[in-house]
Every structure is written in structure tokens, then in C-alpha cells.
Amino acid sequence: MGPGPSDVDPRITGALARPTIGHLDPAFIQLMDEIKQLLQFAFQTSNELTLPISAPGSAGMEACFVNLLEAGDKAIICQNGVFGGRMKENVTRAGCEAIMVEDEWGSAVDTAKVAQAIAAHPDAKLLAFVHAETSTGVQSDAYALCQMASAAGMLSIVDTVTGLAGIEVDVDGWGADAVYSGTQKCLSCVPGLSPVTFSQAAVDVIQSRQTPVQSWFLDMNLVMGYWGGGAKRAYHHTAPINALYALHESLTILQEEGLEASWARHARNHEALKAGLETMGLQLVVEAASRLPQLNLVSIPDGVDDAALRTTLLQDYNLEIGAGLGALAGKVWRIGLMGYASNPGNVRLCLAALENTLIGQGLSLAGGKAVAAANAVYASAS
């Protein structure tokens, strides 16, 4: 129950362990086509260029930036946590200028500041932001931000590594141009792949570049020759066959449940966790309007030994919760309720383990009330 990787459904590890076949085998190529269609479903897009990058989310981020930017371009980057800073690194390493729009860690991206930056830099090629910040548990308004970018004639890049399948992701509805995610969060698949999708406008930019993409491995002109080539697929790199079996299974599970049902499940378990935490007197850090249900930022009460508590949870309860990052280190916990791990059993385990351990550290709590509060949420929802 950390910020990811989340628990993997045994159906998915079962798929993962199937016999490895060749990356040009006709049966595998059919699987690739199905993965593309399932990703289009998950992202809610008809974008033809929709596929999993054969590397973790950081490489998906890099694929978006190095394909859309050429040296000398300008990009507006929204930073309200760790991953906006990583976007800046991608921009500067591509020989481009990053215009930063900064917000407090724990707050959503301020659209008014973004509007100022767009007005001040109408020559920027793109606007990039994090839809679901894994470092802070905050969601920003992807629809508004993508619409602002396209109204200004800019492309948009959206990080929804933690968002996909946990909250609404609507790539076509937003009008987003390049969106990347990860497999190890609300898809509950193994880490190591990064689903991406590019709009036709983004593809046009990629295909009309003046200079080659600086990364051969991430050059979408080459990657699309393998993933999009129909019968005439060109070898680019050896795909991670077994991880793709797992992704196929995870997306099939998502399709069986349905997108809305998955979002509702994440919301319900968040409500139950929140009720239990508040019964213990613990506070959620992020304001209600921008909370991610799948990643809960909790203030650590005064006098609590953060590291000792997390060690106790891991050793005595086999339960991982996440530490704070950056300025939030030692001040918050990050409790994930992602994908397969977003379930009432985990909510109860986490509340009971936290309550017992806090009592063990000397806090005066009435044992058992937290789980009862969570159960009341489930009872009212059913």
C-alpha cells in the first residue's frame, strides 16, 4: 500500500509466466494488436499511435519530450511535486528552454498561473503537467489545462502514471496530445512498461521533425514501424514479451470490470480509509477537491517516529506504506489504494496496523473504532 508498485493480481502473474515466444511470431503480433485496442479503451482515445513503451514510466515521459521537442524549443512545465522537476530535466537535456510554473507540493496546478505563463510565452511549443502526482497524491485539472494549451496553439503532455484506471482519464475528451502512464499503479501490472498515446497533431510534429530524435530507442518514428506496421512490421527492438502478456491480462481485467466501476471502487475504498483515519484523528493533507483516491497523503502526528512505524508495519504486518518525498519527507505518509490492492481487506489491515502501532508508540487512541468507521462506509455504499 505504498505509492506503487501495487499488488499484482495472481491472474496477471499467471499470464506473466507463460512460455516466451518470438517478438515477430504471428500469435504475438495478434496480442500486440489487442493490447493497442485495450489501451485505447483504457485511455479513452481513438489515437492510432497508442502502445506500451518497453521501459518504465520515466522512459515514457522521456519518449514524449524527446519526440515532440527539438533543440531550441521552449516548453511550459507545471511543477507541484517530484515529477514536474523531472519534466524540466527532460526539457533541458533536449537542448530546450523550460518555463516553470510552480505550485506548492500538495496543491493542484493553478490554472491562473498557467494562463499567465502562456500569455507571457506564446512561442512555447508545448505545455506539460502531471495529472496525478505520485509524490503528493494531488490531481490537477487535465481538461482545463489541455484546453488552454490547444487554444494557444500549443501541444500538451500529460503524466498520468498514477491516474490511469484509478480516476477518469479521457484523452480524447481532454484534447491531450501526448499522454504517458505506468503499469505498476492502478493497472496492478508488473513495473517495467509505460503505456503512451499520441494525437494526430503530435504524430504530425514527430513526422515532420527537422532533426532526428536524440534517442534511437525511444524514436517513435521507428517504434511505430514495429507496433503499427500491420503485416509489414519492422524489427526495432526485442519487446518484453512476458511483461506484455501481463499487460494484456491486466487490461482485460480492467475491461471486465469497466472503467467507471474501477473509478468507483477506488473512490469507495478511499472514503472508507479516510473515515478510519479521521476517526483516529489523522488528517489528509490534500484538500478534498484535488485528492487522488488511489494515493492518500496523511500528516504524521507530532511525536510519532516515522521510520520506526513504517518498519513495524513492514515487519509485523507485511505492509508497506510510502514515506514522504522531498520537502514532505518525515512529515507525511503516502498510502496507496491502487488497482488490485484497492479493496476493503487492505483498508481494514492498514487501519488496524496503524492504530495498533500508534498506540504502541504512546498515542492515546480508542482501539477498533477506525475499522468500524470504514465498515460503516462500506455498509452505506452497498
Site residues, its own copies (CB under 8 A): 2, 4-8, 13-14, 16-23, 25-26, 54-59, 62, 86, 89-90, 92-94, 182, 184, 190-192, 212-217, 235-243, 314, 320, 325
Residue 6 grid cell: 501495487
Nine-digit cell string for 156: 500538451
Among 32, 288, 294, 269, which residue's Cα sits nearest to residue 137?
Answer: 294
DSSP letter for each residue of 183-207: SSSTT-PPSS-EEEEE-HHHHHHHH
Place of cell 495478434: 30
Helices 26-43 and 241-257 pack at an angle, to 10 degrees, of 40
For the bound state, the minimum distance from the C-beta of residue 368 to its own copies, rounded and expressed in Å, comes to 29
- Run of H or E residues at 50: strand 49-53
Taking the least distance from each CB to its own copies, the nearer of 55 and 359 is 55
Instruction: Tell me the Ramachandran region of residue 281: left when phi exceeds 0, alpha when psi lies from -120 to 50, beta otherwise.
Output: left
Closest among 356, 355, 336 to 346, alpha carbons compared: 336
55: cell is: 521501459
Taking CA atoms, 11 is separated from 37, 100, 163, 244, in Å, by 20, 42, 22, 14
Q: Which is nearer to its own copies, 45 or 90 (CB)?
A: 90
In the complex, what is the shortest distance from the CB of residue 89 to its own copies, in angstroms, rounded to a whole number? Answer: 5
Q: Between residues 274 and 334, which has the closer beta carbon with respect to its own copies?
A: 334
Q: How far is the CB of 334 from its own copies (least distance, A)?
A: 12
Q: What is the residue whose three cell numbers read 506496421?
A: 229
Nearer to its own copies, 275 or 353 (CB): 353
Query: Between residues 114 and 161, which has the closer beta carbon with respect to its own copies?
Result: 161
Strand-pair partners of 138 = 133, 291
Q: How far is the CB of 377 from its own copies (least distance, A)?
A: 27
Q: How far is the CB of 86 from its own copies (least distance, A)?
A: 7
Nearer to its own copies, 290 or 336 (CB): 336
- Name the region of 135 (left: φ>0; alpha: ψ -120 to 50; beta: rest): alpha
In angstroms, the first-to-last Cα distance of the chain is 24
Nearer to its own copies, 238 or 380 (CB): 238
Name the minimum Å distance from CB 90 to its own copies: 6
Distance in Å, CB of 221 to its own copies, minimum: 12
Q: Which is nearer to its own copies, 174 or 226 (CB)?
A: 226
Shortest gap between Cβ of 62 and its own copies (angstroms)? Answer: 5
Pick the closer one to its own copies by CB: 49 or 341.
341
Give min distance, CB of 87 to its own copies, in A. Answer: 10
Grid cell in block for residue 192:
517495467
Which residues are CB-neighbours of 360 under 8 A, at least 6 positions away?
Answer: 312
Instruction: Give the 3-state secondary structure of residue 182.
Output: coil
CB atoms < 10 A from the CB of 317, how many? 16
| Residue number, 143 or 217, with CB nearest to its own copies | 217
Cβ-Cβ contacts under 8 Å for 10 (sequence gap 6 or more): none
Say if CB 134 and CB 83 are below 8 A apart.
yes
Query: Which secondary structure element, helix H or strand E, spans residue 295, and what is its range?
Result: strand 295-299
CB of 26 to its own copies, least distance (A): 8
